[in-house]
Structure 1
Amino acid sequence: MNYVLNNIPVRTEKPRTSGFTMVMDKGLSIREVENFLDNNSDFVDIVKLGWATSYLTKNLAEKISLYHDAGVPVYLGGTLFEAFVVRNQFDDYRKVLEKYDLRFAEVSDGSISMNHDKKCEFIETLAKDVTVLSEVGSKDAAKIIPPYKWIEQMEKELQAGSWKVIGEAREGGTVGLFRDSGEVRQGLVEEILTKIPEERILWEAPQKEQQVWFVKLLGANVNLGNIAPAELIPLETIRLGLRGDTFDHFIGEIKI
């Protein structure tokens, strides 16, 4: 850091499994990736190439190599996994992971209907070769999944080999964990936490108010994802109590 401040929360250090930040790349250019990494590589733990944007991205191999050379793993959005699966091309999907030397993969079923046992089979198969993150929750705002079902699916997916389970929110933060207004479904989150260890969950929280809510609930080292590249350092200030939203949360009472 550039100077010393007392009473700053202790952040875990990379490589970390808690305090984990996933950034969503929705189509950055090579130059944009270079600029992003120049200023942010210390704070980002993994990058997701959002949904199926990698299908259209120019110079994909070069882009992935830039991230890897900076020590930042990359994975492809779960929607792309679903696009392969619904076309009966799971083996082709595995070849894509191998072609681009991707050591992480996301398994989801937010856009298609899939038997949950089958989803767990995909997780088990992929986990033999790569680190799997699996996403729970629907991208359909009208589809409300009860808390017990979230817990049941998360437990089974972790047992199948998922490294972390992801709480669905999409890039806008208006489905899954959140109401269409962006408000956190607080009861859902709190009930999930009664059964699933917080370090095994990656909460998608693209909106600032959502990030603040999770940091206040679970502390500076909560796992958060779907963070926009330009919002990474702002998120880090939220984690450290250096933004107005969490300024008083970590420091206690100050007498001036």
Structure 2
Amino acid sequence: MLADPPFGFVPFDARRSTKPRRTGLSMVIDDGLPLTYLRGVFELAAPYIDLIKIKTGTARLYPRDHLMRKLAMCEEFQIRPFLGGQFHEYVFAMLGEAALPRFYAEARDLGIRTIEISDNTVPLTPEQRRCQISAAVASGLSVFGEVGSKETLSNPALLVEQAEVCLSAGAELVLVEAAELVENGRVRRDSLEVLKRGLPQDRIMIELPGPWISGVKSCDIEEMKKILFAEFGPDINLANIGVTTIYDTEAQRVGLGTGGPLHS
């Protein structure tokens, strides 16, 4: 908690946890943020950021020293970096299963301790999903599984089945692809309800959609936040938060934002 915060007499939702957290995780995306900019973000907002995803395969484009300095900065502010799952998909698609141990070793050498394994654009069978997660865990990495496709809308029951495969194979956390949760920009409430009933809330993370998904506008993202906090409470695990909206998102978590006070 902040010492002597401004307006300290004003209460907010006491259900909101503080770092280090097991629930209520907030993840932002690094799509090539400069080091000086990122340090400024962390100096202000680190209490409200738990995870940062190195988006898609962008780690391949950095100078090695620059990437390692970025990773070290994340550790300095107690923000956990991880490689996005589409990089893993790319390696698997272009170089095959045999290249994955080298990918895991390179991640460890760089100081990366967590990767995401997904099948957004390169489909995996349940057995491939299980084997890839198990192999990455056996190599010494933590794994975030991701379920769902960027290209098709799945039966939400299938997302639950895929998440169960991820967790049984050793995934620490399962991210639910945002494209599966919106249709024409609107939240698929039936899918949210299936996830809420079918999976442990401390082991899943809901992704927010973005303009990379057809039909999604900024107002749709804000509406989805309101729905998620109303349905799941302030300590839902939430991914894909824009670095410029982390404060606004935290305000919404505790009832200080545009959605108004939350009710338990």
Kindly indicate whether the alpha-carbon contact (under 8 Å) linking 1:75 and 1:106 is maintained by their aligned counterparts in 2.
Answer: yes
Kindly indicate whether the alpha-carbon contact (under 8 Å) linking 1:211 and 1:224 is maintained by their aligned counterparts in 2.
Answer: no
* 2:29 alignment partner, one of 24, 36, 48: 24
1:180-202 Cα distance to aligned partner (Å, 9 max, x none): x3211110110122121111110
Cα RMSD of the aligned pairs, angstroms, is 1.5
* 1:107 alignment partner, one of 103, 114, 117: 117
Counterpart for residue 84 of structure 1: 91
For residue 107 of structure 2, give the secondary structure of its aligned residue in structure 1.
Answer: helix
Query: Which structure shows the higher helix fraction?
Result: 2
Shift in Å, 1:238: 0.2
1:6-32 Cα distance to aligned partner (Å, 9 max, x none): 441122121111011011111101111
1:138 aligns with 2:177: no
How far apart, in 2, do the equivalents of 1:242 and 1:193 lie?
24
For residue 246 of structure 2, give the secondary structure of its aligned residue in structure 1.
Answer: helix
Kindly indicate whether the alpha-carbon contact (under 8 Å) linking 1:123 and 1:157 is maintained by their aligned counterparts in 2.
Answer: yes
1:93 aligns with 2:98: no
Superposed structure 1 runs of 4+ greater than 4 Å apart: none
Shift in Å, 1:205: 1.3
1:156-208 Cα distance to aligned partner (Å, 9 max, x none): 11111111111102xxxxx21111x3211110110122121111110001422
1:218 aligns with 2:232: yes
* 2:18 alignment partner, one of 13, 18, 42: 13
Q: Give the number of aligned pairs.
A: 242
How far apart, in 1, do the equivalents of 2:9 and 2:204 lie?
30
Inter-CA distance 32–4: structure 2 relative to 1 (3 Å threshold)? same
Segments of structure 1 that go 5 or more residues without pairing to the other structure are 170-174, 252-256
Instruction: Give the letter for the 1:204 counterpart.
Output: E
Inter-CA distance 5–19: structure 2 relative to 1 (3 Å threshold)? farther
For residue 173 of structure 2, give the secondary structure of its aligned residue in structure 1.
Answer: strand
For residue 206 of structure 2, give the secondary structure of its aligned residue in structure 1.
Answer: strand
Counterpart for residue 147 of structure 1: 156
